[in-house]
């Protein structure tokens, strides 16, 4: 599973399935906070995965 799959799922739900989000007042504030948390967690996960993956050694050089 990639990081982009949930984004694609939301876009498909909105465009193809015509799904809607109905919220009022404080619910929009909660949604905004949760989106910020989700984006922050996704960026942190992507960065940790990038750091953990080994870098290829260029041809002709030893590790």
Q: What predicted TM-score, i.e. pTM, was given to this entire model? A: 0.59
Rounded Cα distance, 13 and 10, in Å: 5
Rounded Cα distance, 34 and 20, in Å: 18
3-class SS at 7? helix
Q: Identify the pLDDT of residue 13.
A: 93
Q: Identify the pLDDT of residue 53.
A: 65
Q: How confident is the model at residue 1 (pLDDT cuts 50, 70, 90)?
A: low
Residue 63 predicted with pLDDT over 60: no
Summarize pLDDT for 3-62 with one digit per residue, the tens.
678 888 988 999 999 999 899 999 999 999 998 998 898 888 888 877 766 667 777 766
Rounded Cα distance, 42 and 22, in Å: 25
């Amino acid at each position: 599973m990639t990081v982009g799959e949930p984004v694609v799922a939301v876009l498909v739900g909105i465009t193809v399935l015509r799904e809607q989000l109905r919220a009022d007042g404080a619910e929009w504030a909660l949604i905004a906070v949760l989106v910020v948390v989700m984006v922050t967690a996704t960026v942190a996960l992507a960065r940790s995965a990038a750091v953990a993956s080994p870098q290829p050694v260029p041809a002709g050089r030893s590790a």
